[in-house]
Amino acid sequence: MVAPRRLPMTLLLAGLVLAGVALPAAWGMQAGDSTRLLPGAIDDLGRLRQESNDARFEVLITILEERGIAYEVQEFANEHANRSPRPVGRNIVMTFGSGPRDLVVGAHFDAVALPDGFSEGMVDNGAAAIIVMRVAEALQGLELSHRVRVVLFDMEEIGLLGSRHYVSTEDGERAAAMLNLDVSAAGDAVLFGPAGNAGNELVYDAAWQTCADADLTCVEFANYPSSDDRSFQAAGVPNISIAVMPEIEAHQMWLIMNARESSGLAPGFRTHTMSTLHSPNDTLDEVQPEAMALAYRMVLETLLYLDTILAEGQ
Ligand SMILES: [Zn+2]
Ligand 1 centroid to residue 273 C-alpha, Å: 12
Q: What are phi and psi of 69, to 5 degrees?
A: -100, 120
How many distinct helices (H) and strands (E) make up the chain? 11, 10
Our count of domains for the chain comes to: 1
Answer whether residue 64 is part of any domain.
Answer: yes
Answer whether residue 160 is part of any domain.
Answer: yes
Instruction: Report CA dihedral (153, 49, 224, 256) to the nearest 10 degrees.
Output: -160
pLDDT at 45: 98
Report whether 38 contacts 136 (CB < 8 A): no
CATH assignment of the domain containing 241? 3.40.630.10
Ligand 1 centroid to residue 48 C-alpha, Å: 15
Query: By residue range, what is the domain housing residue 178?
Result: 30-312
- Name the DSSP class of 46: H
Answer whether residue 138 is part of any domain.
Answer: yes
pLDDT at 37: 79
**How confident is the prediction along the chain (314 residues), in pLDDT tens digits per residue?**
333 343 444 445 544 544 444 444 344 333 344 456 799 999 999 999 999 999 999 999 999 999 999 999 999 999 999 999 999 999 999 999 999 999 999 999 999 999 988 999 999 999 999 999 999 999 998 999 999 999 999 999 999 999 999 999 999 999 999 999 999 999 999 999 999 999 999 999 999 999 999 999 999 999 999 999 999 999 999 999 999 999 999 999 999 999 988 999 999 999 999 999 999 999 999 999 999 999 999 999 999 999 999 998 76
Ligand 1 centroid to residue 181 C-alpha, Å: 9
Answer whether residue 158 is part of any domain.
Answer: yes
Q: Are strands 88-96 and 72-77 parallel, antiparallel or unpaired?
A: antiparallel
pLDDT at 312: 87
Ligand 1 centroid to residue 237 C-alpha, Å: 20
Ligand 1 centroid to residue 6 C-alpha, Å: 32
pLDDT at 29: 37
Answer whether residue 16 is part of any domain.
Answer: no
Ligand 1 centroid to residue 78 C-alpha, Å: 18
Q: In DSSP terms, which residues pair with 270 in a beta bridge?
A: none
pLDDT at 27: 41
Ligand 1 centroid to residue 304 C-alpha, Å: 24
Ligand 1 centroid to residue 20 C-alpha, Å: 33
Report which of 255, 245, 248, 244 is spatially closest to residue 222, judged by C-alpha positions.
255
pLDDT at 10: 45
Ligand 1 centroid to residue 275 C-alpha, Å: 13
3-state secondary structure string, 56-94? HHHHHHHHHHHHCCCCEEEEEECCCCCCCCCCEEEEEEE
Ligand 1 centroid to residue 10 C-alpha, Å: 32
Answer whether residue 3 is part of any domain.
Answer: no
Answer whether residue 81 is part of any domain.
Answer: yes
Ligand 1 centroid to residue 186 C-alpha, Å: 14
Ligand 1 centroid to residue 36 C-alpha, Å: 24
Ligand 1 centroid to residue 17 C-alpha, Å: 32
Ligand 1 centroid to residue 23 C-alpha, Å: 27
Answer whether residue 14 is part of any domain.
Answer: no
Ligand 1 centroid to residue 227 C-alpha, Å: 6
Q: What is the largest CA-CA distance in the chain?
A: 53
